[in-house]
A and B are shown apart, each in its own frame.
Chain A
Amino acid sequence: MTLQWGYKRAFLRCALLFVAGTTLQMGLGDIDNSFLRYPWGLIIAINYVYLLVLIHFQQERWSWLKRLSDHYACTSSLVAMILMTMIFGLTRQDPATEGLVGALGFSRMTSSWSFNILLLYFTTTTGLAVMDDLHHIRKRRVAAVMSHLAVFVMLVAGIFGSGDKVRVSVNTQLNKPVHMGVDRAGKPTQLPFAITLKEFKMDEYPPKLYVLNTATQTSSRDFLSVEEVGASMVVDGWELTAEQYIDMAGRMPESDEYREMQHIGAAPAVLVRAKNTLSGEEYRGWVSCGSFIFEPSYLFLSKDIAVAMPRREAKRYLSRIEAENEKGETEKFNIEVNHPAKIGSWHIYQVGYDTARGRWSSTSVLECVRDGWYSAVHIALWTMLAAGVVMFVTAGGRKPRKEEQR
C-alpha cells in the first residue's frame, strides 16, 4: 500500500507543527494562558472565527487554502489528536517531572505548545468543516452538521476561554462571613459576595465491621454492615453478630463499656459477638471507629486478628449558607455535591469538610467558579447530545452522498 501524496503532505504538516511546538516548548517553556482573559480571549476568538470565514470564502481564489479543509487535513488532524491524546494518557501529569518528558511538556500537556498547536490545527479543520457544512447545509447529514458545530464551539470556548475561568476555594466556618478565598495558584482572591456557613449536616452509611490482621495490616474482603441490631455475617471464618448498636456513643476513660451520648464528638459503637465457625471459639466486646474525641476500640480475636470498624462513609453532606452581595442583599442556599448554588455569574460547589471531625465538622470547603464561556459550551453540549440521538436514529440504511466522498 502506498500513501497518497495528499496524505503525505498533510501528515508532514502535522509533523512540522509538532516540531514547531516542541521548539517553542524548549525555548519558551509552558504556555501561559493568562493573556486570554476577557476581553482579549473574546477578541482573539472572534478574529480567529473571522479568519476561518475568510479562508473558507477565499478557497476558490487560492487553491492551497483548500488543503486546510480537504479530507487529508481532516484525517491528519484526527490522527495527530489521537496520538497526542495517547501520549497524554500514557504520561503522568505532574508539573515537577524532569528529563525529556518534562522538557517536551508532555507531563503538563494542557499547557504544552505541541499539544495546543495541534489542537488548534484540529479546531481549524473542524471550523472549516462547519463553514462548508453551513454553506452546503441541504446536502449534509444533520448529525454531522450538529456534531461539527458543537465540537467546534466547545473547542473554541475551551481554548480561547481558558484564561477566563476563575476557581476560588473558600474555607467557611460556622457563622463567620468570608469574602476571600484562594485561586488554583494559591493567590488570595476577593469574591463579590460574602458567604456565611449557617449549618453543616452529614448523613452517613451504617458502620461496617471488618476482620483485621494487625501483623500484615490487611483487612478482610467481606464485611458486616450493621444496619440493625442482630445483623450477622461470616467474615474470614468468624461469624460476626451485632448485639447492640449505639449511633452516638461515648465511654469513660477507665471503662470498656459504651453508652449513649448526645454530644459533639460522639462515635458509633457496636457490641459484637464473634464466633469461630470451625473451633466454636467465642469473643464479645465493643468495637468503635472512634472520633476526634474518642480513641477507636477493637475486639481482639487472637494476638494479630481483631474486629475493626473504619470511619463511616459519608452518604451526603450539605452546607446551609447565606450569601450577601455588594448591595447588602442576602440569599439563602443549600449546597450539596451535585447541587451547586448559583449567585449571579458564579456557581458555588460543595467540595469538602473537616474529615478529622466528620459529621461534627464546623467547617465546610466550598469552591466558587465563574466561567463566562460556559453558556456557549452548555448549548454546544446539548447540541452534541441531540446529534448523538439523531445519529443513532438515522444510522444505517443510506449510502454516502457524492459530496461526502469529496
Chain B
Amino acid sequence: MSWEQLIWFAAAATLCWITGAVLAFRSKRWWTAATASIAGSVIFFAYIVGMWIALERPPMRTMGETRLWYSFFLSIAGVAVFIRWRYKWILSFSTMMSVVFICVNLFKPEIHSKSLMPALQSVWFVPHVIVYMFAYAMMGAVTLFALYLWLRKREAEATEMGVCDNLVRIGWAFLTLGMIMGALWAKQAWGDYWTWDPKETWAAATWLSYLLYLHLRPRLKDNNIAFAVLCFSFLLLQMCWYGINYLPSAQGASVHVY
C-alpha cells in the first residue's frame, strides 16, 4: 500500500459516506444510513491498516498521516453521534470534513519517511495520537454546528445547545485522555510529565478553554457567548495542532516536530 492508492480508497469511502448522509434524511430506517457510513469508515480504515503494514510502523508520524486518522475519526465520530442521538445533519458534517482532509492529503502530498525515532517507539504513541485525533474530530464537528446555529437567524433551541454540550463533553474527555497519556509517556521517555513544551502549552490553553465552556454553559443565558467560546477554543486547537509549526516563539523549541 502506498499514497498512490489513497485516491481509490478515499473515493469508495466518500461514496459510502455521502450515501449515508443522504439516507439519514431520506430513509425511514436509521440503520441504513449508519451501515453505509460505517462501510465507508471500514474501507478507509483498510487503507490505514495497509499503510501501517507497508510502512512497518503506525502511520501517525507526519502531518499527512495524522490527517488520515482525523478523516477516519471524523467519520466514526459522526456515525457514533448519529447512532446515539439520531442527529440527521451530523453525517453530512462529518462527511464534508473528512473529505476536506482527504483532499488536503491528495493535493498536498508530503514525503513520508519510514523511520520512527526511538522516542516515538512507545506503547503510548498509538493511543495518544488516536485519542487526540478523535478529540479534534469531535471539536471540529461541534464548531461547525455552533457556527451554523450562530449564523442562522433563528435562536438556538435548548435541545440544539444540548447537542453542543454533549459533543464538547465527549471531545473534552478525549482531549483529557490524550493529554494524560502524553504526560505518562513523557515521564517514561524523559522523566518529566510536563515540560511546558510549546505543544503542551497550547494543548493546555485549548483544554482550559473548552473547560471554560463546560463551566460557563449551565449558567449562561446568552448563547452567543457560548458560540464565541467554542470558536475561540477551536482556534486554540488549530494553534496546538499545526499552528506552532509556524509560530516564531516555538521554532526549535518543541519536541513535537513533524
Contact = CB atoms under 8 A, between A and B. Distances in A.
A405 interface: yes
Interface string B160-199: 0010011001101110110011011101111111101010
B187 A374 contact: yes
A93 B196 contact: yes
A279 to B, nearest CB: 25
A405 B219 contact: yes
A75 B173 contact: no
Nearest to B196: A110
Contacts, number: 142
Contact of B205 (A85, A223, A388): A85
Q: Which 10 A-B pairs give the minimum distances between C-beta atoms?
A: A369-B191, A396-B166, A395-B169, A391-B173, A392-B173, A388-B176, A337-B118, A92-B249, A85-B205, A388-B177
Query: Interface on chain B toward A: helix, strand, loop, or mixed SS?
Result: helix
Contact of A388 (B173, B190, B211): B173
A109 B253 CA distance: 14
A347 B192 CA distance: 11
- A-side interface size class: 35 or more
A147 B201 contact: no
Contacts of A223: 111, 113
Interface of A: 1, 71, 74-75, 78-79, 81-82, 85-86, 88-93, 109-110, 143, 147, 158, 167, 205, 221-223, 225, 313-317, 336-340, 347, 349, 367, 369, 371, 374, 377-378, 381, 384-385, 387-389, 391-392, 395-397, 400, 404-405
B204 interface: yes
B177 A338 contact: no
B191 A340 contact: yes
A82 B209 contact: yes
Contacts of B172: 391
Given A384-B180, A388-B173, A75 B253 contact: no
Contacts of A395: 166, 169-170, 173
A89 B201 contact: yes
B204 A85 contact: yes
A377 to B, nearest CB: 6
B216 A381 contact: no
B242 interface: no
Interface-central residue, A75, A89, A392, by most chain B CB under 10 Å: A89
Given A89-B198, A349-B191, A385-B181, A78 B208 contact: yes
B136 to A, nearest CB: 15
Contacts of B250: 89, 92
A180 to B, nearest CB: 19
Contacts of B253: 92-93
- B-side interface size class: 35 or more
Given A369-B191, A400-B218, A147 B119 contact: no
Given A395-B169, A395-B173, A89 B249 contact: yes
A205 B114 contact: yes
Contact of B196 (A71, A81, A88): A88
Interface in B93-151: 111, 113-119, 121-122
A78 B211 contact: yes
Contacts of B116: 315
A93 to B, nearest CB: 7
Contacts of A404: 218
B193 A381 contact: yes
Contact of B191 (A1, A147, A167): A167
Contacts of A91: 249
A29 B235 CA distance: 33
Interface string B201-217: 11011001101100110
A204 B225 CA distance: 53
A222 B111 contact: yes
Contacts of A167: 191
A141 to B, nearest CB: 10
Contact of A316 (B121, B193, B236, B248): B121
A89 B203 CA distance: 10
A110 B31 CA distance: 52
A75 B220 CA distance: 12
Given A221-B111, A385-B180, A391-B172, A338 B215 contact: no
A85 B201 contact: yes
Contacts of B111: 221-223
